[in-house]
Amino acid sequence: MSKLKQIGKKYFTTVFLLLLIINIINYSGFEIFTSIRMNDFFSGFFGGFFMAQAFIGIAYYNKLKK
């Protein structure tokens, strides 16, 4: 069973957008986000999780499209 079916489309989109916002904040050069920026380890962890979720979503979409 795919991860997308387990957590549902709505939750997948919510998690995907949340992780995208976290990564934008972490890798942006704006000084206003300095106080909430994560260290490199957690930033890389969330970045990796974000990419894995994106690939799972793309694979599931391609499976449904056929």
What is the tens place of the pLDDT at every residue in 15-57? 778 877 877 777 777 777 666 666 666 667 777 887 787 788 7
- State the Cα–Cα distance between residues 45 and 52, nearest whole angstrom: 11
State yes or no: pLDDT of 14 exceeds 70. Answer: yes
Altogether, the residues listed in the chain come to a count of 66
* Structural domain total, the chain: 1
pTM flag (> 0.85): no
Provide the domain limits for residue 46: 3-65
- State the Cα–Cα distance between residues 66 and 57, nearest whole angstrom: 15
The Cα-based distances of 64 to 2, 4, 58, 59 in angstroms read: 12, 12, 10, 9
